[in-house]
Structure 1
């Protein structure tokens, strides 16, 4: 690390996912290899070819007071719940609002609000709409609500880069602290897109698994039998802080948020560039940004959505950027794909892997695909050995967005 560069650390974690309503229950389920995917029961399910998803294990309506929940889109509900958890986990510190920032985005935003509000407008007229309709549907709503709650005045930002959103938000938060704009930043991603229109649209793009007879086994990254991704919902939020600020207040530190790397494929709006160079370069840029060498990286949480082409390209990119020594997991095998929330929760998983020195195994990896030349964690979680460890979380999104975030032990 450059001597004059501010070191950024992680001091708080918050999540609500298909595996659990908080970080502890989610992480426990992940290490046990449990699936959060289930058959859907919504009235629209018979109109679409995919009938399962990773629904949040704890409905936000069970956590938030009803008057508050009615003002929020479901994606905002998830974000606020996860942010509150992360802030409490960080010790709910007293901090100068002018030195506190928020970076929380969503790949799709308040799509549930958009669709339901339009139906209400068409059927009953404009005067039946909630005055909170616009704040509920806008993609920056989560960042706005969190900043209001915490009094964060250093900036409230909402990155939107499809499935790379959560990771890009964390990278932006690192930059805010390094640049001196803030001492602390609440960062991550959220998504609530389990709706008939979205499921139908992804299915039309031939992107989703159709393994309706065994949904818990549908997400199978790197397996020969993989046939597409599984949609999930939820949020993952972290509290980032300059190390100096964290030490001064006696905060617990989970890991160092060492750096991030970004590229864009400039190739196809939904498809990956077959040569995988964008993913490779994003990882290499993250390493340079973090002053790390490929040999320092012991673990990669792969984006690995369980699509036939995507997993193969990413595995090659990991080998080209880092080598074949790092152990690779793919946690979407249990959570499904949280789209804009994926980079948030998977960064948390990467942080916890370093903090607890253990990497969850990939679920449903019965028969690894040919040509995957990286060390996949199968069967049981695997321990990490050593004192100074580094790991990378990959997040790639429609539009050609590639983001890699590097973390290290303290």
Structure 2
């Protein structure tokens, strides 16, 4: 498919008034996914790991961004660095799993890189008289941290993480989201047989909550339109959702402190695929990341962090609640993808009020793929 066809969105820049989704072709075409890897995921700050995983010199964590292998490493000098996890020799992955290492050794032909990414040694290198090892280090990425999170960016000239995060940081501060003294308790992964944008669009709105989540979210949080408030600011989509008042809660244990004086939960989202929330009660943080693997496959990673004061029962209630509504979302998202894959509809119709977050997200995607990304 030619680029002109891929980028032919059936609406003008005033998309909110027109109400068109992105073309459904964009949710299934591998060529569009390749453009997204280049123009979205390699130009945005991507959540990559928890800071606690990289606490000691020599700690290394391999992961991926849009199926591009990367590795984070804490150097002997204490510096945190990130690289493309691909050997400059023949393209083999260098670091296969997390651990503590004194160097990064490619298992294919034994090339050795330092924790600073520099090429230190080449097997039989003395036979290659013109080999300049200084030119063949691992490709570097920007890396920075906020709270317990480590972010990376392939674009070495991109604006700073703090600038990118501003709306999300402001939201977290206003909502008093705990970011210190937390540790990972559990991690769950869902594989969506769906495009990453379908999964993200689902998590950004609660228009579907009364129907899809009536027995989970709908029991403990209000799902009326006025109970889900949203503001869109730069690369942040900031939402908050009201708790059910005590008199409206069913019997049983909610996924938060039932004696809380708080009235809502925060739901900050950072473009393009990172979201977190925190429930009233002992310090807790739920982190949701949607990692595209291909045009029709996405890994949803749910991480649960708690302070030491959170007891086992509280932790398990939150995890069980999240797993339940995550399973409901999985079914809904895959059903949407099956409808899109039929090829019957060219695009969908968004409602100006109920779909405002979806429209804003779609506009960000459209701007990135058509060269109008505000970050460039």
Asked if these proteins are the same fold (TM beyond 0.5), I'd say no
Q: Which has the higher contact order (CA 8 A, sep 6+)?
A: 1
1 or 2, which has the higher strand percentage? 2
TM-score by length of 2: 0.27
